[in-house]
Amino acid sequence: MIENLMVGFQMAIQPGNLLLIALGTALGVFVGAMPGLSSTTGLAIVLPFTFMLNPIPAFLMMISLYMAAEYGGSITAIAIGVPGTPPAVPTTFDGYPLTKKGQCGKALGVSILSSTLGGVFGTIILILACGPISTFALKFGPAEYCALGIFGLSIVGNLVEGSVVKGFISVIIGLLFCVVGVDVLSGYPRFTFEILGLLDGIHLIPALIGFFAISEVFKLIEESGVLKRVTEKVSGKLPSLKEMRGLAVTILRSSAIGATVGAVPGAGATIASLIAYNETKRMSKTPEKFGTGVIEGVSAPEAANNASVGGAMIPLLTLGIPGSGSTAILLGGLMLHGMKPGPLLMSEHPELIYTIYIGFFVAEFFMLTVGLLGIPLWVKLISLRSSRLTPLILGISLIGSYALGNSIFDMIMAVFFGALGYLMRRFGYPLAPAVLALVLGFIVETNYRRALSISGGDHMVFLTEPISLVLIVLAVATFVIPAVRSYRRKQKATD
Amino acid sequence: MVRISDLITACLLIVLSIYIFHETSLYPEPFIEGAPGASAFPNVLAFCLIVLSVILIIDSFRHKSERVDSTNWKAIAKISIDLILIIAFLVILEFWDIFILMPLLLAATMFIMGEKSIKAIILLPLAFDLFVYVVFYRMFHVMLPTIYF
């Protein structure tokens, strides 16, 4: 293995390949940061150009773009409260509050450092644990996917501050939007009101943009008579070494979660980052501070979503199974260059595989450089006056929601969710649980019904499958423990 | 004092739940015996919504003598105007060019938010337009709704 890695290293550091990695990284950061664009969009655009290249340089460029886009989503999530990609959703929970406290530089610094370290961890897992993890990932069936979705939803208990009832109403609202569209199992249209655009269901990106960005635009308009800037004090100061050392356990744990969840086809970076955020909050000594702007709340999802890239490559390289849109495009790239993805790829093209491994490390270094150099630019952006920054947020949100499907209907959806999100915030209904439900609701319902179709309606299938049982027990614990803790704290306070 | 907003919201959610039950009663039965059909999940959600709404109603009566913040009608008016402008933008976009409409919308939003500098109101939307044209339209080939470009 060491010899193969050395060969991979020699190939990856050739000047032409280094240039392509740098280009892929810069492009990846950019598409990740822009709402409405994502690694899938970026990869789809560069794929035809890579046909002119040899397979190794082509892949180095694409994997760099893929890795950097996962980090890029955090930039706008932190700076202006708009997640650039769905995995950056939990980053907004603490990233944007940090910006409002004037600590944008610290938040962005924590994000890039955690993303880099998470990416390195995910790559190490990819190199060492390819076989065992792919075997584990293949054991996921409908019951396991449903349990994973429920486990993801269980973090609601940790996201709700204030009225718990309103938090759960928020979840139900999010889940209700998931049932809109043609039911995939029966083919029957549900709550479409004969609107063509709704047959496909509610697209996630316009809903996220609406909930986070456009509702924030309305809130900033409301405050425009009072606040001149999103935050009056803006600091580009990076996190200290002591602060980063304090994040070591968070990064390690979140990276492990990211790499494992990322290896499950269809689970992806979004679920990985949500679970990592929840686990970090659950294990924190001060969970009540999450959501108000703590660096652990930025570090956890960012480490997880970059580690999930390494995890997602495991089923792709070992089994030829793409776990997401991005890995599906990478699969297409492999086939475009005449390679047959699957178990024999490693033995037939070892030079490609080991160069990809080293390429990830090099891409992470370039991502760190691009990320750190870009921080002053983003800090400058958010110090603009509110009357100038807010319209830019509105503009990029509308363009971003259109860009996904070239559809004005998606823009309409984004504005609808923006108005709904503003009203929800005004009347004390938290947005995070609704967003969580939107992300996970489809996985939960579809796999719940599939599992029961296979088992003939027997609900015991969720408890007899070992992986499903473990996930459900964890979900119950995640749900119950914070409630018990909160009750005990209230009892102590009254005593 | 009762939280009026919570009471109204709870009642609206109960009405929504009743609508969901009515709508899903028309859905076909599942093909496989024992498996949940298209109506199962929405019905579960509607039931949960009714339970939570009732709890919210009870909760809203339990809170006494709560200070009610005065509504900032000026802010509400600003938001309403901007929302109307956005809706007008979306309607006209079906027939006209995004590169002309977008700067108008952004300039109007800046004006609503109290931007005083005419230079900023003109230049910033145009700069944003150029950015969108170069990056989204040219670089990433996003088929934006345009007539003149």
> CB of A164 within 8 Å of any CB in chain B?
no
Give the per-residue pLDDT at A330. 83
pTM (two decimals): 0.78
Given CA atoms A61, A65, A66, A71 in this order, what sign does their dihedral have?
Answer: positive
Domain-embedded: residue B115: yes
What number of residues does chain B have? 149
Span A69-91, average pLDDT: 88
Q: Which helix (H) or strand (E) holds B135?
A: none
Q: Are residues B40 and B87 part of one domain?
A: no
Please report, rounded to a whole number, the percentage of residues in chain A having pLDDT higher than 70.
90
Contact A402 B142 (CB under 8 A): yes
Inter-chain residue contact A457 with B52, CB threshold 8 Å: no
Same domain for B57 and B87, yes or no, is no
Claim to verify: residue B93 and residue B57 sit in the same structural domain:
no
Looking at mean pLDDT, say which of A28-37, A149-158, A455-464, B84-93 comes out highest: B84-93
Which tokens belong to B53?
């709404």
Q: Which of A203-207, A259-263, A416-420 has the highest mean pLDDT?
A: A416-420
The CA R_g of chain A, rounded to the nearest whole Å, is 22
| Cβ atoms < 10 Å from Cβ of B140 | 18
Please report residues of B whose CB lies closer than 8 A to that of A223. Answer: 75
Strand partners, A190: A181
Give the number of beta-carbon pairs within 8 Å between A and B.
162
| A412 contact residues in B (CB cutoff 8 A) | 90
What is the DSSP track for A355-398? HHHHHHHHHHHHHHHHHHHHHHHHHHHHTSBHHHHHHHHHHHHH
Whether ipTM > 0.90 holds is yes
Whether residues B78 and A222 touch (CB distance < 8 A) is answered with yes
How many other C-beta atoms can be found within 10 angstroms of the C-beta atom of residue B19?
12
In a domain, B44, yes or no: yes
Cβ contacts of residue A126 below 8 Å, gap of 6+?
A: A259, A310, A311, A313, A314, A317, A357, A360
- List A residues 195-214 in contact with B (Cβ-Cβ < 8 A): none
B105 occurs within a structural domain: yes
Whether B43 is covered by a domain: the verdict is yes
Q: Among A221, A391, A394, select the one facing B79 at the smallest CB separation.
A: A221
* Shortest alpha-carbon distance between residue A435 and chain B (Å): 16
State which residue of chain A sits closest to B93, comparing Cα positions.
Answer: A408
Hey, what are A181's tokens?
A: 């569209």
Which residues from A are below 8 Å from B45, CB to CB? 172, 175-176, 179
Please tell me the predicted confidence (pLDDT) of residue A111: 94
For B59, counting Cβ atoms within 10 Å of its Cβ (0-12 exposed, 13-18 middle, 19+ buried), the class is middle
Predicted confidence band at A180 (pLDDT cuts at 50, 70, 90)?
very high
Crossing angle of helices A386-405 and B98-112, rounded to 10° = 150
Q: Is A490 near chain B, with CB under 8 Å? A: no
Per-residue pLDDT, averaged over A399-410, amounts to: 85
Domain, as residue range, for B38 = 4-62
- Which residue ranges of chain B lie beneath pLDDT 50? 65, 67
Residue A229, number of CB atoms within 10 A of its CB = 16
Same domain, B56 and B105: no
Cα A18 from chain centre: 27
Ranges A29-38, A249-258, A272-281: which has the least confidence: A29-38
The residue among A63 and A484 whose pLDDT is bigger is A63
- The position carrying tokens 């909160």 is A486
d(CA B84, CA B80): 6
Tell me which residues of chain A, numbers 447 to 476, contact chain B at a CB-CB cutoff of 8 Å. Answer: 448-449, 452-453, 456-458
Tell me what pLDDT residue A423 has.
Answer: 92
**Site from B110, B133, B134, B146 to mutate, A interface, most A CB atoms within 10 angstroms:** B110
Whether residues B88 and B134 share a domain: the answer is yes
The predicted pLDDT at position B65 comes to: 47
- For residue A47, the model assigns a pLDDT of 77
Domain assignment present for B87:
yes
Residue B69 lies in a domain: no
Answer yes or no: do A457 and B41 touch at CB < 8 A: no
- The distance from CA B108 to its chain's CA centroid, rounded to whole angstroms, is 20
Contact A391 B72 (CB under 8 A): no
Pair B48, B15 in one domain: yes
Q: Span A308-327, mean pLDDT?
A: 80
Q: What is the pLDDT of residue A289?
A: 87
Is A183's Cβ below 8 Å from some Cβ in B?
A: yes
CB A313 within 8 A of CB A324: no
**Of A37, A388, A449, Cβ closest to residue B120:** A388
Mean local confidence (pLDDT), A10-19: 83
CA gap A320, A138 in Å, rounded: 12
Q: Is residue B46 part of a domain?
A: yes
Average pLDDT taken over every residue of chain A: 83
Q: Which residues 6+ apart lie within 8 Å of A89 measured at CB?
A: A77, A83, A208, A212, A270, A273, A274, A301, A435, A439
For A444, counting Cβ atoms within 10 Å of its Cβ (0-12 exposed, 13-18 middle, 19+ buried), the class is buried
Provide the number of structural domains found in chain B: 2
Q: Are A107 and A95 in contact (CB under 8 A)?
A: yes
Q: Do B135 and A34 touch (CB under 8 A)?
A: yes
Please name the member of A186, A224, A427 whose beta carbon is closest to the beta carbon of B38: A186
User: CA–CA distance from A28 to each of A71, A85, A308, A485 (Å)?
Assistant: 8, 12, 16, 42
Segment A245-271 shows an average pLDDT of: 86
Contacts 24+ apart (CB under 8 A), B62-67: B63/B1, B63/B2, B63/B3, B64/B1, B65/B1, B66/B1, B66/B3
Same domain, B56 and B91: no
CA distances from A269 to A89, A261, A303 (A): 11, 8, 10
Rounded Cα–Cα distance for residues B13 and B5 (Å): 12
With a cut of 70, say whether residue A161 has pLDDT above it. Answer: no
What residues in B contact A220, CB-CB < 8 Å? 113
Q: B5 and A427: CB-CB below 8 Å?
A: yes
The answer to whether B52 contacts A176, with C-beta atoms less than 8 Å apart, is no
Mutation target vs A (from B4, B41, B70, B138; most A CBs, 10 A cutoff):
B41
A169 touches chain B (CB under 8 A): yes
**Angstrom distance (rounded) from CA B94 to CA B146:** 10
- pLDDT tens string A192-239: 888 888 888 888 778 878 887 888 889 889 887 655 555 556 666 677
For A345-393, write each residue's pLDDT tens digit.
777 777 788 888 888 999 999 999 988 888 887 777 767 778 888 898 8
User: What would the two tokens of residue A94 be?
Assistant: 């603490």
Residue B125 vs residue A130, higher pLDDT: B125
Distance from CA of A210 to the nearest CA of B (A): 13
Q: Is A29 on the interface with B (CB under 8 A)?
A: no
Pairwise CA distance, residues A341 & A10, whole Å = 24
**What is the rounded distance in angstroms from the CA atom of residue A144 to the CA atom of residue A172?**
22
pLDDT band at A417 (very low <50, low <70, confident <90, very high): very high
**What is the per-residue burial (b if ≥16 Cβ within 10 Å, else e) of A447-478?**
bbbbbbbebeeeeebbeebebbeebbebbeeb
How far CA B101 is from CA of B126, B128, B141, in Å, comes to 11, 12, 20
Please name the residues between 214 and 273 in chain A that touch chain B, using a CB distance below 8 Å: 217-218, 220-225
Cα–Cα–Cα angle for A240, A242, A248, rounded to 5 degrees:
110
Q: How high is the pLDDT of residue B4?
A: 82
